[in-house]
Structure 1
Amino acid sequence: MFLPMTRAEMEKRGWTELDVILITGDAYIDSPFSGVAIIGRVLEDAGYRVGIIACPDPRDEDAFKALGKPKLFWGITAGAMDSMVANYTPLGKRRFQDDLLPEGKLTRPDRATIVYTNTILRLFGREVPIILGGIEASLRRIIHYDYWDDDLRRSVLMDSKADYLVYGMGEKTILEIAHKLARNEDIRDIRGLCYLSSSPPPEGIELPGWDEVKKDPLAFIEMFHLFYANQDPITGKRLFQRQTPNDAPPRYLIHNPPALPLTTEELDHVYELPYEHDAHPLHKKQGRIRALETIQFSLTTHRGCYGGCHFCAIGVHQGRWIISRSEDSLLREAKRLTKHPAFKGYFFDVGGPTANMWQMDCAKKAKSGACRERHCLLPHPCERLIPSHERQIRLLQAIRRLPGVKGVFVASGIRPDLVYADPDGEAYVREIAFYHTSGQLKLAPEHTESKILSLMGKPDLETLLRFRRDFLRFSHEAGKKQFLSYYFIAAYPGCSREDMIKAKHFIQKHLHLTPEQVQIFTPTPSTYASVMYYTERDPFHPERKLFVEKNPSEKQKQKDILQTSLEKAKKKP
């Protein structure tokens, strides 16, 4: 049974009012790949009455009034993507479709978190708290660079006028909030929570405030270093930051330490709640949801990523820890999905942010937190990691042996450097090539030039080329015509036209193709890459200025270089 989206569905459950109403910019897909579905199911599992308002039109007041008002709180999320990323290309053009909405129609408003909150305030006032969550709110929780304004913006709590913000993976935080609100207790001490105050807390680390970061790019860099260094659940401290100018009444963002991560047992429980693994019937009537075709029969093996790519928000949102599900839990979910009426025999992905990090991490993190003095994978994988793919191979083999299963694929990213940190890494590549590639496997080198890869937080390409050789060799041995495709980024901070020409030459010489997947860089909030883009400096060496391409036509030319012949690229003005 889906969580209710209508009064009629509430009545079927015998409910006359709800404890919590969740509003999302996505269609409601009842799947553990949907954040709002997870939060809804976790609250339901704890005994709360939860309803969902999905992709409402802000001009339609009845859509927001459909379920009445909640007893405990409103939960608001823009959805699985930042609404500005969902609505606009990197060159600022309006997108044609949104894969998370019926028929791809662009109904998600710009800055959806703010729009939905303002609508609730206008219609219902502040009778119960409004709590923000999801990736848009999470990555905009402190002062941040906004690419679409090309300027700094304050915390989304300031701009939305919401009461609280839950950041990161919010199951523990949202449950504690619900329990305390039900008992009329103060929630401001809960981990993973942000709120506003007219005065700073008695203790904590102060981040450079509005006047400082607006005036000085170096202060903005210092702010982000302090912020990033305190995102570990073991070592992270309370942060606070002035959001208003010094000549205005003070408003401080209070940023509590991160929530403790779920245990394996807790994560198993979350992913085995009674999801329908389908879109709500109201959406099914409205048309095809393209994202459903990918996530409906896929399995999430873990959360988090210690890859540390500077353009990626996963480290700040999901964390640098790997929290893995158990093999038994994944097999139970796979068995249930084989009974789904729409299952046709294929699991389209078994993985996470990086597929081959499942059950790989170091014991030190659980005791003393992630290292501040070194990177987990650069310049080479840390010796404390557990570089063995044996368990993942065993898991994939067990899933493909289930009755009714015709194919099990790995579509998530694979880190070749981690593959070859495993003495038996070739066995993993062989397994993927023989059994778990649906014709094409995607890798993400992002660039080829060492100086750009360093700015990206990516390794050199030695292990990628080795992976390519092994994958093609094993595919040939398997008698399969399979290919590798590669993601590249154009116009990354520090990258010039000449760097893209060098990349084109490398790709032609070593990969023997013209890449199809080339994305112009988008500075998303709360990433080191966005700090580089805004300040035009290397944040790890602030004295070094970076060339940053900000002209839209020149950005397009960088992309075109990789997708045209080398001769034309050199001649293009």
Structure 2
Amino acid sequence: MELRGWDQLDVLLINGDAYVDHPTFGIPALARWFERRGLRVGIVPQPRVDCSDDILRMGRPRLFVGVSAGTVDSMINNYTANKKVRSDDMYSEGGRAYRKIPVTSVARADGARGAAFKEERIRPDYATIAYAKLARQAFPDVPVIAGGVEISLRRLAHFDYWQNRIRPSMLVECDADLVVFGMGERTAIRIAEDFKKASELSGGPLSLSHDATRAALKRLKGERGIAFTCSREESKEIQPRLKIPSFEEVRDDKRKFSKAAYFIEYEASPYNGRRLMQDHGQKTVVINPPALPLSQEEMDSIYELPFCKEQHPMYKERIPAADMIRFSVASTRGCFGGCSFCAITLHQGRI
């Protein structure tokens, strides 16, 4: 920030992966996309979640905080299919899943004092929830926007393999004001532009207590690719909509679960998909229709951004995922298949 002459960021992005400036890593790609539009962007990769020190280093952002679990769902990164804890993480420095954290100094036998360390997972379980709560704790009045594959695929009630139970929508547990689901470049730019206008109207950094911020959030709740929660009373005013079986119903009835899953798949098309709603107790999760896919020109403009395609120089060891995709070329997005073991269709669409 000092080298660039910045006194404040516009957008702060929190990421579950180590920082690799490559378009296959979502948060760095989004940061470049924002930067192209004149925004001041900072990235905090893999912050500690037991304190706010890491995300406070660059100060309070002017517009919003964005959070993502990373390129892969955090539970897949942290556990094997046999539910064993992984010791490695391809998206972390040295491929390690753990790091040592100094806790205090301890007396040694020779009378000198040395540092004591504890090991902690670099990426927390259900990282989107952890990072959103961390952002809210550090910046209580700043809008928090969540996105990425983890919350996109958990945006409605779902079966969690690791806990062997039906979990509620991650939106209910995640302390975010808005969620961007699917491939979110176009939606994210709309959010940034609306928040920038709101900041100009309010004459300073955005705050959830400002009328301009609340008005911007209200407008954005009508945009494609956006999901949010509201009270059940408020949800009655939102039209058009398709109500699917509630969390309580899908938790207790397998047929209702199957019915909800059918509607989620059936309404996933950006061209004719309808707005979905699912009650969770006194709250309702609202899922707007998916964002339209990018044109060829738009996609080319993203991948042609000035990525250095290297990991950040602060890392002393290689990041395995960075080596794996170093010479990769993206030719398309989405998949027509819809295989049961793959999330691409549901996250990126069929085109």
**What TM-score results when the alignment is normalised by the length of structure 1?**
0.52
Equivalent residue of 1:168, what SS?
coil
Counterpart amino acid of residue 300 in structure 1: A
1:170 aligns with 2:184: yes
Deviation at 1:14, TM superposition (A): 1.4
Tell me, in whole angstroms, the C-alpha distance in 2 between the residues paired with 1:104 and 1:203: 47
> Secondary structure of 1:165's match?
strand
Q: After TM superposition, give the deviation of residue 123 of structure 1 in Å.
A: 2.1
Distance in 1 (CA, whole Å) between partners of 2:128 and 2:253 is 28
Determine which of 63, 70, 86 is the counterpart of 2:77.
86
Q: CA offset at residue 60 of structure 1?
A: 4.2
Pairwise CA distance, 1:213: 0.8
SS across alignment from 1:303: coil
1:110 aligns with 2:120: no
Query: Any idea what SS the aligned residue of 1:12 has?
Result: coil
CA distance in 1, matches of 2:328, 2:249: 46
User: CA RMSD of the aligned region, Å?
Assistant: 1.0
Aligned counterpart, 1:132: 146
User: In the aligned structure 1, how far is the partner of 2:51 from the partner of 2:325?
Assistant: 30
- Deviation of 1:59 (Å): 2.3
Report the AA paired with residue 346 of structure 2: V
Residue 210 (str. 1) matches residue 247 (str. 2): yes
Matched residue, 2:116: none
Cross-structure match for 2:90: 99
Q: Does 1:298 align with 2:298?
A: no
* TM-superposed deviation, 1:13: 1.3
Letter in 1 for 2:143: P
Partner Cα separation in structure 1 for residue 279 and residue 63 of structure 2:
29
The answer to whether the aligner puts 1:151 opposite 2:165 as a matched pair is yes
Relative contact order higher in (CA < 8 Å, ≥ 6 apart):
2
CA contact (8 A) 1:230 1:236 kept: yes
**Counterpart contact for 2:338–2:346, Cα < 8 Å:** no
**Shift of residue 203, structure 1, vs aligned partner:** 2.1
- Residue 211 of structure 1 deviates from its aligned partner by 2.0
Question: Of the two, which has the highest radius of gyration?
Answer: 1
The question of whether the paired residues in 2 share the 8 Å contact of 1:181 and 1:187 is answered with no
Equivalent residue in structure 2 for 1:50, among 9, 19, 41: 41
User: Could you say which residue in structure 1 is the equivalent of 2:229?
Assistant: 196
* 2:307 aligned residue: 275
Match of 1:69 among 60, 64, 83: 60
Contact persistence 2:21–2:312 (CA under 8 A): yes
Matched, 1:222 2:259: yes
SS in 1 for 2:229: strand
Residues 515-565 of structure 1, C-alpha deviation per residue, up to 9 Å, x if partnerless? xxxxxxxxxxxxxxxxxxxxxxxxxxxxxxxxxxxxxxxxxxxxxxxxxxx
| Letter of the 1:298 counterpart | S
Q: CA deviation at 1:56?
A: 1.1
CA distance in 2, matches of 1:135, 1:203: 26
Q: Which amino acid in 1 is paired with 2:309? A: H
Question: For residues 295 and 241 of structure 2, what CA distance do their matches in structure 1 show?
Answer: 27
2:76 partner letter = V
Quick one: which of 128, 137, 151 aligns to 1:122?
137
Specify the alignment match of 1:433 in structure 2: none
CA distance in 2, matches of 1:230, 1:181: 29
- Tell me the equivalent position of 2:206: none
Which of 262, 273, 276 matches 1:236?
Answer: 273
Gaps of at least 5 residues in structure 1 are 1-9, 245-249, 322-573
**CA displacement at 1:38 relative to structure 2:** 1.1
Identity percentage of aligned residues = 42
Q: Does 1:254 align with 2:245?
A: no
Distance 1:208 1:187 in 2: 25
Task: Mark the runs of 5 or more structure 2 residues left unpaired by the alignment.
Answer: 98-121, 199-215
1:76 and 1:133 in contact (8 A); partners too: yes
- How many angstroms apart in 1 are the aligned matches of 2:169 and 2:307? 33
The one-letter code sitting in structure 2 at the alignment partner of 1:40 is A
Q: Matched residue of 2:134: which SS?
A: helix
SS of equivalent to 1:281: coil
Deviation at 1:253, TM superposition (A): 0.7
Query: What does residue range 321-470 of structure 1 map to in structure 2 within 5 Å?
Result: 321=351
Cα distance in structure 2, aligned partners of 1:197 and 1:219: 22
Give the alignment's TM-score, normalised by structure 2. 0.85
Distance in 2, Cα, partners of 1:54 & 1:96: 19
Structure 1 residue runs of 4 or more that deviate by more than 6 Å after TM superposition: none
8 Å CA contact retained: 1:157, 1:163: no
Question: Is the CA contact (8 Å cut-off) linking 2:93 and 2:319 kept in structure 1?
Answer: yes
Which structure is higher in helix share? 1
8 Å CA contact 1:177, 1:190 repeated in 2: no
SS in 2 for 1:85: helix
Structure 1 range deviating more: 266-275 or 103-112: 103-112
Partner of 2:24 in structure 1? 33
1:24 equivalent among 8, 12, 15 = 15
Q: How many residues align?
A: 304
Matched-pair contact (CA < 8 Å) for 2:246–2:280: yes
Structure 2 residue aligned with 1:543: none
Secondary structure of 2:314's partner? helix
Output the CA distance in 2 between the equivalents of 1:137 and 1:13.
33
Give per-residue Cα distances to partners, 1:153-191, cap 9 Å, x unaligned. 111111122111100000000000111111223311111
CA distance in 2, matches of 1:308, 1:316: 7
